[in-house]
A and B are shown apart, each in its own frame.
Chain A
Amino acid sequence: MKWTKKDLLDLESLNREEISMVLDTARSFREILDRPVKKVPILRGKTVVNMFFEPSTRTSASFDMAAKRLMADTVNISPKTSAVQKGETLLDTARNLEAMKIDLVVIRHMSSGAPHFLASRIKSGVINAGDGQHAHPTQGLLDMFTMREKRGQLEGLNVLIVGDVTHSRVARSNIHGLIKMGARVSVCGPSTLIPMGIQELGVKVYYDLDKALAEADVVNVLRLQLERQKKGLLPSLREYSQLFCVTEDRLKKAKPGITIMHPGPMNRGVEIEPAVADGASSVILDQVTNGVAVRMAVLYLLSGGEGSLSEAIKKEA
């Protein structure tokens, strides 16, 4: 099978084979990260521009590192230091960078659909690194990669997503990806943070965390943005954590061997108890490591990489 898409915009537009292809490719790259010299010259001569219009530590570092591991050149643009401050539009910024002969654009943007907007107007491949509350496909992929790594397969796996689903692009990408791969997905959170019509995506909705946890093999805990309380979506963070914080106590009633995930950044004590975040069931830091491998795979596939991957990764820089 050959990768045919110019862009990676969301998981809704990928089919099962394409998702498997990214995950399989990522497995090859994952191994490189344990080498003493963590570089392969696969994307030498390619240029990747990282445009982050929203603050990000994990994702921007992960993309930058993934590109550097493959020996691509990277340029990082952030709104504070770019001409966006001078009123330049997103499209103009991208077109100007493209005029410098680049290959891929990685974009994080607060507007849902911004990567789609860009992808239909520039020639370079566009990778969505998170758009508004719409999609975060590489997070979805790295979550699935981690689940597959820890639980063997995705088919039939019971995955529970807990928290602010309404504002979460991570939740949406998890839902689309996991359902395509045959997992069963449930969401649980306060009714004000579960968006209208979410059932139509094929998920089960719970408002009682204990009931929701009973069937789960994997729990993906979402970050609760602290300003939700001010916007009148929640009475208080205290009450939120009473009802929805994933705690050791609650997990005692869950299935043994349950896997705990979190896309970060965490609000310890709000949505997840520190003991759970740092406990034996937690794979949160594995997610971060795997994120680099998954992004290497995405960069590789979107750069037109194919065929001799097994040969290519043998070479060291």
Chain B
Amino acid sequence: MKELKIQKAEGRIIIKNGRVIDPANKRDEVTDVVIRDGKIESIGKVGDPDPKAQVIDATGLIITPGLFDMHVHFREPGREDEETIETGSRAAAAGGFTGVACMPNTTPVVENQGIVQLVKSRQTAYCGIYPVGAVTKGLECQELAEMGDMFHAGAVAVSDDGKPVTNSNLMRRALDYCRMFDIPVISHCEDTFLSADGAMNEGALATRLGLRGIPNAAESSMAYRDAQLAALTGGRLHIAHVSCAETVDVVRQAKRRGIKITAETCPHYFTLTEEAVKGYNEMTRVNPPLRGKADVQAILEGLKDGTIDCIVTDHAPHSHEEKEVEFDQAPTGMIGLETSLGLCWTHLVETGVLTPSQLVEKMSLNPRNILKIGNSKLEIGKTADLTVFDPKAKWTVEPEEFFSKSRNTPFKGFNLTGKTVMTVLDGNIIK
């Protein structure tokens, strides 16, 4: 079993000769980063190194502000058999993330300040934990949750993720109310009348497999509704897990109109299509579902032109027992923290869709800015929060080696390029 070690931040550490990519500072150069007692001391070539300093040779490696995943499910409290905040944090660190935002659909739901505090109290040294509070009590779409209290307790956003806020008026109120705290409402867009009991993307393949389909309109129609409500209220809207071409269009148009809207997608929406469902592979069951080729193309374009701001994993651990059942009985979702960087590097950077710097924007700068997390750029004197990865490392996805407690990934056996070497959090080195 692999282990992650934490090296305490003491003395001077020189990360030498790495390619430092820091989009907020428009920096992309091969240089040295010096950390002293956990804080960044200098960025620039070190001529005559301190003989007592620890030197880490980063030749050929990339150093970036710590990657941040603004959409994970760590299942604590409630389903600690699937993931805990500790195991999820290890998976995050192994995947190169120094911070994650945890969705509130736990048991109990993160719907008041006490539960926000509980989640935060479980934080380990592996990864920063930023709770997202619920929009409605119990995610039941009846009454607003205590969003102000939760904000003051440390919630960085609100969302009923896993479920849509079906009541348009409640969504309007949530967007309006959250203006007071300037936090985004993260919308899981799904018209549940349209998605009904669907198990995969609607279309010829679903017809062939005899599985009920979910049309793109189930997502895009609610994204459009929410964009209108954001315009009406002036609230900040963030569209979760964009899966289809029509939603990319909705977000693009809304941005043009000046609506306060941001959006995210997940690696599985630009690396897989519905074809992966063939053979009823329950690992590919996810909500929203894997879509068609044209949708993947639209997502790539949305990433390229900036319509889609962030890449998140929607890391959704499920136990083997619950996932290994008939396809339409399997719970939706897949884990992603330990495959995200490799998938993004292989399928976005090596293919020329994004520059390395643009990838760092979507995996660090933008999510940190949307949630106002800080550490979105490298600054002298600030606590070091970094990701170091090898863009040339080739590896094969082996779920048995994951730090996550769960194994539900459709990427088993995939050959990827790009792997985390270490992260630096609060000045501590984790590798």
Contacts from A to B (Cβ < 8 Å): 12, 89-91, 109, 111-114, 116-117, 131-135, 166, 169, 172, 195-198, 200-201
Residue of B nearest to A113 (CB): B280
Q: Is B205 an interface residue (CB 8 A)?
A: yes
In the bound complex, do residue A172 and residue B324 qualify as a contact, i.e. CB atoms below 8 Å apart? no
Among B206, B280, B282, B329, the most chain A Cβ lie within 10 Å of the Cβ of: B280
Instruction: Enumerate chain B residues within 8 angstroms of A114, measured Cβ to Cβ.
Output: 326
Tell whether A132 pairs with B328 under 8 Å between CB atoms, given A113-B280, A116-B279: yes
In the bound complex, do residue B280 and residue A112 qualify as a contact, i.e. CB atoms below 8 Å apart? yes
In the bound complex, do residue B208 and residue A12 qualify as a contact, i.e. CB atoms below 8 Å apart? yes
Among B207, B212, B324, the most chain A Cβ lie within 10 Å of the Cβ of: B207
In the bound complex, do residue B280 and residue A196 qualify as a contact, i.e. CB atoms below 8 Å apart? no
Q: Is B211 an interface residue (CB 8 A)?
A: yes
Residue of A nearest to B210 (CB): A134
Among B203, B204, B205, B279, the most chain A Cβ lie within 10 Å of the Cβ of: B204
Tell whether A197 pairs with B325 under 8 Å between CB atoms, given A132-B210, A133-B210, A134-B211: no
Q: Is B209 an interface residue (CB 8 A)?
A: yes
Instruction: Enumerate chain B residues within 8 angstroms of A133, measured Cβ to Cβ.
Output: 210-212
Instruction: Enumerate chain B residues within 8 angstroms of A90, measured Cβ to Cβ.
Output: 325-326
CA gap between A169 and B211 in the complex, in Å: 11
CA gap between A90 and B324 in the complex, in Å: 10
Q: Could you jot down 24 A-B contacts, CB within 8 Å?
A: A89-B325, A90-B326, A111-B328, A112-B209, A112-B280, A113-B209, A113-B210, A113-B211, A113-B280, A113-B327, A113-B328, A114-B326, A117-B327, A132-B210, A133-B210, A133-B211, A135-B210, A196-B207, A196-B213, A197-B204, A197-B207, A197-B208, A201-B204, A201-B208
Instruction: Enumerate chain A residues within 8 angstroms of B280, measured Cβ to Cβ.
Output: 112-113, 116-117
CA gap between A200 and B36 in the complex, in Å: 64
Instruction: Enumerate chain B residues within 8 angstroms of A117, measured Cβ to Cβ.
Output: 280, 282, 325-327
A-contact 0/1 string along B171-213, CB 8 Å cutoff: 0000000000000000000000000000100111111111111
Expressed in whole angstroms, the minimum distance between the Cβ of B52 and any Cβ of chain A is: 59
In the bound complex, do residue B202 and residue A111 qualify as a contact, i.e. CB atoms below 8 Å apart? no
CA gap between A12 and B210 in the complex, in Å: 12
Instruction: Enumerate chain A residues within 8 angstroms of B328, measured Cβ to Cβ.
Output: 111-113, 132
Expressed in whole angstroms, the minimum distance between the Cβ of B376 and any Cβ of chain A is: 43
Instruction: Enumerate chain A residues within 8 angstroms of B207, measured Cβ to Cβ.
Output: 166, 172, 195-198, 200-201
Tell whether A111 pairs with B206 under 8 Å between CB atoms, given A116-B279, A116-B280, A117-B280: no
In the bound complex, do residue A111 and residue B204 qualify as a contact, i.e. CB atoms below 8 Å apart? no
Expressed in whole angstroms, the minimum distance between the Cβ of B278 and any Cβ of chain A is: 10
**Size bin of chain B's contact surface:** 20 to 34
CA gap between A172 and B329 in the complex, in Å: 22
CA gap between A90 and B327 in the complex, in Å: 12
Q: 15 more A-B contacts (CB under 8 A) besides A112-B199, A112-B280, A113-B327?
A: A89-B321, A113-B209, A113-B280, A117-B280, A117-B326, A131-B210, A132-B328, A133-B211, A135-B210, A169-B210, A172-B207, A196-B213, A197-B203, A197-B206, A201-B204
Residue of A nearest to B213 (CB): A196
CA gap between A135 and B321 in the complex, in Å: 26
Expressed in whole angstroms, the minimum distance between the Cβ of A125 and any Cβ of chain B is: 18
Tell whether A113 pairs with B213 under 8 Å between CB atoms, given A12-B208, A196-B203, A196-B204: no
Instruction: Enumerate chain A residues within 8 angstroms of B325, measured Cβ to Cβ.
Output: 89-91, 117
A-contact 0/1 string along B309-335, CB 8 Å cutoff: 000000000000100111111000000
Contact residues of B between 326 and 358, Cβ < 8 Å to A = 326-329
CA gap between A134 and B277 in the complex, in Å: 14
Instruction: Enumerate chain A residues within 8 angstroms of B199, measured Cβ to Cβ.
Output: 112
Instruction: Enumerate chain B residues within 8 angstroms of A131, measured Cβ to Cβ.
Output: 210
CA gap between A118 and B11 in the complex, in Å: 59
Expressed in whole angstroms, the minimum distance between the Cβ of B392 and any Cβ of chain A is: 36
Expressed in whole angstroms, the minimum distance between the Cβ of A166 and any Cβ of chain B is: 8
Expressed in whole angstroms, the minimum distance between the Cβ of B157 and any Cβ of chain A is: 36
Instruction: Enumerate chain A residues within 8 angstroms of B204, measured Cβ to Cβ.
Output: 196-198, 200-201
CA gap between A279 and B213 in the complex, in Å: 38
In the bound complex, do residue B209 and residue A134 qualify as a contact, i.e. CB atoms below 8 Å apart? yes
Instruction: Enumerate chain B residues within 8 angstroms of A198, measured Cβ to Cβ.
Output: 204, 207
Expressed in whole angstroms, the minimum distance between the Cβ of A122 and any Cβ of chain B is: 13
Expressed in whole angstroms, the minimum distance between the Cβ of A264 and any Cβ of chain B is: 19
Instruction: Enumerate chain B residues within 8 angstroms of A111, measured Cβ to Cβ.
Output: 326-329
Among A90, A91, A117, A198, the most chain B Cβ lie within 10 Å of the Cβ of: A117
Expressed in whole angstroms, the minimum distance between the Cβ of A155 and any Cβ of chain B is: 24
In the bound complex, do residue A109 and residue B326 qualify as a contact, i.e. CB atoms below 8 Å apart? yes
Instruction: Enumerate chain B residues within 8 angstroms of A196, measured Cβ to Cβ.
Output: 202-204, 206-207, 213
CA gap between A179 and B204 in the complex, in Å: 17
Expressed in whole angstroms, the minimum distance between the Cβ of A223 and any Cβ of chain B is: 16
Expressed in whole angstroms, the minimum distance between the Cβ of A217 and any Cβ of chain B is: 25
Expressed in whole angstroms, the minimum distance between the Cβ of B244 and any Cβ of chain A is: 15
Which 6 A-B residue pairs are closest in the complex by CB-CB distance? A197-B204, A134-B210, A113-B280, A111-B326, A112-B210, A195-B207
CA gap between A195 and B208 in the complex, in Å: 9
Expressed in whole angstroms, the minimum distance between the Cβ of B273 and any Cβ of chain A is: 14
CA gap between A112 and B206 in the complex, in Å: 10
Tell whether A197 pairs with B209 under 8 Å between CB atoms, given A111-B329, A114-B326: no
Residue of A nearest to B329 (CB): A111
Residue of B nearest to A135 (CB): B210
CA gap between A112 and B280 in the complex, in Å: 8
Residue of B nearest to A109 (CB): B326
Residue of A nearest to B193 (CB): A232
Residue of A nearest to B215 (CB): A196
CA gap between A12 and B328 in the complex, in Å: 20
Expressed in whole angstroms, the minimum distance between the Cβ of A189 and any Cβ of chain B is: 13
Instruction: Enumerate chain A residues within 8 angstroms of B321, measured Cβ to Cβ.
Output: 89
In the bound complex, do residue B211 and residue A112 qualify as a contact, i.e. CB atoms below 8 Å apart? yes
Instruction: Enumerate chain A residues within 8 angstroms of B203, measured Cβ to Cβ.
Output: 196-197
Contact residues of B between 195 and 239, Cβ < 8 Å to A = 199, 202-213
CA gap between A131 and B210 in the complex, in Å: 8
Instruction: Enumerate chain B residues within 8 angstroms of A166, measured Cβ to Cβ.
Output: 207
Expressed in whole angstroms, the minimum distance between the Cβ of B198 and any Cβ of chain A is: 12
Contact residues of B between 146 and 177, Cβ < 8 Å to A = none
Expressed in whole angstroms, the minimum distance between the Cβ of A41 and any Cβ of chain B is: 36
